[in-house]
Amino acid sequence: MYSETTRDIRVTVRPIYLDDQSSPDENHFVWAYRVLIENLGGETVQLRSRHWRITDGIGRRQEVKGAGVIGEQPVLAPGQSFEYQSGTPLSTPSGIMDGTYQMETAEGEAFDVRIPAFSLDSPHQPTQRH
């Protein structure tokens, strides 16, 4: 698991390689990732948008931006959390993802929350012995 806290908002990500949806012989590798967003602070916030950076094993980068997550813009009061699952395909057996969520306070102040960089590793990634 990967976790990072920005301004009392903790984001924890757990990537899962989906062998049953992947086709290594066709260079198609798929991961799910479960995200838990926790409001550890004292103010209510709303997740307004997301910005993901997805980098495959040879350095090709894709950026994904949009409103909310999985069609929702959850409001988190102090002590509340929101969890969701999404996924991404790659054409390489490994990669890395990171990004930000834009949050907004009840007073209308916008701020970015970092999504920790997390590794996408499949069992098909070549390993080297030293």
Per-residue confidence of the chain (130 residues) as pLDDT tens digits?
999 999 999 999 999 999 999 999 999 999 999 999 999 999 999 999 999 999 999 999 999 999 999 999 999 999 999 999 999 999 999 999 999 999 999 999 999 999 999 999 998 876 545 4
Q: Which domain holds residue 107?
A: 2-118
Q: Does some domain include residue 125? A: no
Q: Is residue 124 part of a domain?
A: no
Q: Which residues, other chains included, contact 108 with Cβ-Cβ below 8 Å and sequence gap of 6+? A: none
Q: Is residue 126 part of a domain?
A: no
In DSSP terms, which residues pair with 70 in a beta bridge?
none
Entry pTM: 0.92
Question: E-assigned strands of the chain?
Answer: 2-6, 9-17, 29-39, 45-56, 61-67, 75-76, 81-90, 94-105, 110-121
Residue 6 sits in a domain whose CATH number is 2.60.40.1470
69 assigned to some structural domain: yes
Domains in the chain: how many in total? Answer: 1
